[in-house]
Structure 1
Amino acid sequence: MNKQIIRYTLGNILMILAGLMILPLIVSLIYQESWVNIASFLGTALVTFAIGFFLSRTKLHRRNFYATEGFTIVSLSWIAISFFSAIPFVVSQQIPSFVDAFFEMSSGFTTTGASILNDVEALSHSMLFWRSFTHFVGGMGVLVFALAILPKAESASVHIMKAEMTGPTFGKLVSKLSSTARILYVIYFVFMMITLGLLWLAGVPFFDSMLLAFGTAGTGGFGVLNGSIAPYDSFTVEMILSIGMIVFSINFNLFYLAFIGQAKRALKSEELRWFLAIIAGSVFLIALNLISTSYGVTSAFRDSFFTVASIISTTGYSTALFDHWPLFSQLMLILLMFVGGMAGSTAGGLKVSRIMLLIKAAWAEIKRTIRPNRVVTIEYEGRRIDAKLVNTVLSYFVVYVLIFVVAVLVVSLETPNLLSSFSAVAATFNNIGPGLGIVGPSQNFAHFSPLVKIVLSFIMIMGRLEIFPMIILFAPNTWLKRF
């Protein structure tokens, strides 16, 4: 284990985090907030920078590292940034409990959007900004952000990027890793700015527009108002956010292809077609189910479209109390929680690509059972898929289910029914935010004990990093292994 490179990289990440804290500090000065707020960010930034500087002074005997170090660096970095980012909330006493603040920041950086706050509007502007800004940084990935801005990125850093990017496969857009990271962030930033501008033009205050754009870009869902998006009561705002959430749930590689003049190739993406078909089918079925109750046709399709976009993108914004919808609609939303967005996007969930491969693998097995001598191949995006990738997806799914079951058992100790415990884990493990029952869109996670909040915090990080980096971090062999 190359522990020097782990300390060195972690130190650099903490120094970058300290630099990012200057932004909420500026917001605090603009809005002339109390000295406590200013001191909480300034003091935390100085301490974080000092620790990061100390760690980064580690003498590197060798710079090369492998997947184990890459996964360990990513896991430790996400835990560390959630830890240090929570400190300003505790120092300012706007979230007095450190466990609560850690939960909130874990939710922020993992773009989950689950909250322990009963009154979001009670937070100061700087704290609201910092809370939502974590969505923007965490959406594309904290270490991808570091790779994008650091002057040099070693070739071995592909292990870091592979651990942090979502989906069963990873591919560089261009030959140089740092250039790939910069391209991704440019696309990400431009789309975020477009979202911000459209919201502002639609009549949303600039500060609110900025925070909502952060949440939409990162598919996070932290709101500015207690009622999430509902208080704006604007069809235009809802459509901007709905389309924005869907856009940020699409593989960013496809946007790059469109940018370089290969739009037709991007539109031929099999995963994209599945993703859009799932959205269209879900909106239609849920709307019909709502119409069969007391909903009007227009309201049914409007609320259905926004909620489906919010859930499948794992953003978690809400305009309706969908936990009061008919059972069929609630079950549809739970299924969408597990599907999530496309690989290579900012969305969470299992990812459409994995769902596709699982379905195709199951169908192939049925064919082999019917005709044992038949050679059955699995194709994905027009290419033949080897057995290794299919086995990787199946292994991931098995581990995912096992962890999910254990987490549900833990949470069930403090929930009144199966729906609440199941959806609480589904909402956090898939990085969605609101669930159903006692964690529905009008509720939050404040009533859980500190132990369950810590468990759910790690579940959020594990879900964002797609399980294996966190498993490797806590595996005894990781720290005993020598190269």
Structure 2
Amino acid sequence: MKLKHGMMISSIAWMWAGIVGGVVISLATGTDFLNGIFESTSALTGTGITMFDNVEILPHSILFFRAFEQWVGGLGVVVMVIGVLTRPGTATAKLYQSEAREERLKPSVKTTLKKTIEIYLIYTIAGIILYLLAGMPTFDSICNTFCMIATGGMSIKNANIGYYHNDLIYLISIVLMILGATSFLAHYKIIKTKGKSLIQDLQFKTLICIITFVTIILYLASHIVPIDLLFTVTSSITTTGANVQLASTMAGWPSFILVILMILMLMGGSSGSTVGAIKLYRVITYVKAIYRHIKEILSPDGRVIPIKISGRRVSEKEIGKTGNFITLYLVIIAITWIIFCFYGYPPFDSLFSIISLQGNNGLDIGVLNNTLNPVLKIVSVLNMWVGRLEIYPVLVLFRAIFEIFKK
């Protein structure tokens, strides 16, 4: 099976899973079908935005279903299936690559996926235990762990994690979000080297530095409660979208804070993790490429300056692909933004929400709820779908459909 086939299967599988989940939610809750699809897609893609005004009145079965969708979606529906059921080989490798996880833990893709699931399960069990020790009820501990480790953020409470008013629970959630946003290659190396390789992982170091630096700067500039800022900053860059402040409260924060959160939501966490958005590896590559270009202008003609990340030389093809992806990513955001503005939504609030949708984040300042125009709900579902699959698999599918009708 060729890579294009793997990409098309992934695209269809994600959309189909969202529709099936939407039917389940719609039938179980009585909400309309479009809201059900939005809810299910939001959970599966790890976006975490809900169409329910009051999630606390939902049956426990639906709350668990939403949390489980996030947990499964954290690794990818297709990846979860082929990791257990598919034999090692070319088809598996192509599907694995189409899920935007090009890093390899082990020589066999099937072995890689099994090891990934094993690590995922260990962190999940640890998260549940930690929440229980912090005083969280059992059902809440399970659902919230599923949400946090998968960087989904769709909580079972209207006030999200802020419902608990417990700093220890906030800190546990922050740790789980960071674990979910760290490359599974790094997790494997950490376990293998007993933690020694952690400080060598560039993406992890960048993630921690950004969280620390931005939290300090925002606190000095705003004097918002430190733990609330730390939680929100971590939630933004890990694309979890969990919150300890209501959307209405965040909407009242200074604009410069919201702009910084948008930048963090664009960046995302590590490649090879459960996060959405552009991802740190691409950001680092892009920044280094810009810096190299400046150095080349100042250097004697003909000088070749290679780009290296963690000691590995980055090929020109990879640099080009990174630039193309970031351009496509921003173009899709711009198109969606124009559509939202056309329907009369405030430009700033719309941009914040669209960046959140495209990056599978979930933070919102009051735009994304069940009063959203039906057309924009459909657009939002497409945004979440495209963002989760990292654009190219969806474009390949659309191209294939176009070729069929062209004939």
Shared topology, TM-score over 0.5?
Answer: yes
Letter in 2 for 1:98: F
- The 8 Å contact of residues 360 and 387 in structure 2, kept in 1 or not, is answered as yes
**For residues 8-23 of structure 1, what are the structure 2 equivalents within 5 Å?**
none
Say yes or no: does 1:307 pair with 2:244. no
Which residue matches 1:391?
Answer: 320
**For residues 167-246 of structure 1, what are the structure 2 equivalents within 5 Å?**
170-246=102-178
Letter in 2 for 1:87: V
State the shift of 1:432 in Å.
0.6
Residues in 1 aligned to 2:400 and 2:117: alpha-carbon distance in whole angstroms? 35
Partner residue of 1:329 out of 242, 257, 263: 257
Which residue matches 1:261?
Answer: 193
State the shift of 1:165 in Å.
3.2
Which residue matches 1:460?
Answer: 384
Secondary structure in 2 aligned to 1:264?
A: coil
Letter in 2 for 1:463: G
Secondary structure in 1 aligned to 2:283?
A: helix
Which residue matches 2:57?
Answer: 122
TM-score by length of 2: 0.95
Q: Deviations over 1:358-403 (max 9, x none)?
A: 1000011111122233221111111111101000101111111211
Which residue matches 1:341?
Answer: 269
Letter in 2 for 1:325: W
Mean Cα deviation higher: 171-180 or 452-461: 171-180
Relative to 1, partners in 2 of residues 1:146 and 1:243: Cα closer, same or farther, differing over 3 Å? same
State the shift of 1:337 in Å.
0.6
Letter in 2 for 1:318: N
Residues in 2 aligned to 1:153 and 1:126: alpha-carbon distance in whole angstroms? 35
Which residue matches 1:10?
Answer: none
Letter in 2 for 1:267: I
Residues in 1 aligned to 2:44 and 2:323: alpha-carbon distance in whole angstroms? 27
Residues in 2 aligned to 1:477 and 1:325: alpha-carbon distance in whole angstroms? 45
Which residue matches 1:89?
Answer: 25
Which residue matches 1:360?
Answer: 288
Residues in 1 aligned to 2:86 and 2:332: alpha-carbon distance in whole angstroms? 38
Letter in 1 for 2:136: V
Letter in 2 for 1:243: V
Letter in 1 for 2:285: L
State the shift of 1:262 in Å.
6.5
- The 8 Å contact of residues 87 and 110 in structure 2, kept in 1 or not, is answered as yes
Residues in 2 aligned to 1:351 and 1:95: alpha-carbon distance in whole angstroms? 37
Letter in 2 for 1:345: S
**Which structure has the bigger radius of gyration?**
1
Q: Deviations over 1:393-430 (max 9, x none)?
A: 01111111211111111122234311121112101000
State the shift of 1:152 in Å.
2.2
State the shift of 1:261 in Å.
2.1
- The 8 Å contact of residues 289 and 326 in structure 1, kept in 2 or not, is answered as no
Partner residue of 1:382 out of 301, 311, 335: 311
- The 8 Å contact of residues 7 and 393 in structure 2, kept in 1 or not, is answered as yes
Residues in 2 aligned to 1:262 and 1:389: alpha-carbon distance in whole angstroms? 31
Say yes or no: does 1:159 pair with 2:94. yes
Cα RMSD, aligned residues only: 1.6
Relative to 1, partners in 2 of residues 1:477 and 1:387: Cα closer, same or farther, differing over 3 Å? farther
Letter in 2 for 1:147: I
- The 8 Å contact of residues 103 and 272 in structure 2, kept in 1 or not, is answered as no
Where structure 2 has 5 or more consecutive residues not aligned to the other structure, the ranges are none
Residues in 1 aligned to 2:133 and 2:194: alpha-carbon distance in whole angstroms? 31
Partner residue of 1:289 out of 221, 228, 250: 221
Secondary structure in 1 aligned to 2:155?
A: coil
Letter in 2 for 1:261: T
State the shift of 1:265 in Å.
3.4
Residues in 1 aligned to 2:77 and 2:86: alpha-carbon distance in whole angstroms? 16
Secondary structure in 2 aligned to 1:229?
A: helix
- The 8 Å contact of residues 212 and 224 in structure 1, kept in 2 or not, is answered as yes
Say yes or no: does 1:111 pair with 2:36. no
- The 8 Å contact of residues 71 and 163 in structure 1, kept in 2 or not, is answered as yes
State the shift of 1:352 in Å.
0.8
Higher relative contact order (CA 8 A, sep 6+): 2
State the shift of 1:435 in Å.
2.4
Residues in 2 aligned to 1:137 and 1:385: alpha-carbon distance in whole angstroms? 32
Secondary structure in 1 aligned to 2:91?
A: helix
- The 8 Å contact of residues 83 and 102 in structure 1, kept in 2 or not, is answered as yes
Residues in 1 aligned to 2:146 and 2:25: alpha-carbon distance in whole angstroms? 19
TM-score by length of 1: 0.80
Which residue matches 1:42?
Answer: none
Residues in 2 aligned to 1:360 and 1:461: alpha-carbon distance in whole angstroms? 29
Q: Deviations over 1:421-477 (max 9, x none)?
A: 1112101000011223x33xxxx4212122211111011011011000011111147
Say yes or no: does 1:70 pair with 2:6. yes
Report percent identity of matched pairs: 27
Residues in 1 aligned to 2:231 and 2:30: alpha-carbon distance in whole angstroms? 30
Mean Cα deviation higher: 212-221 or 141-150: 141-150
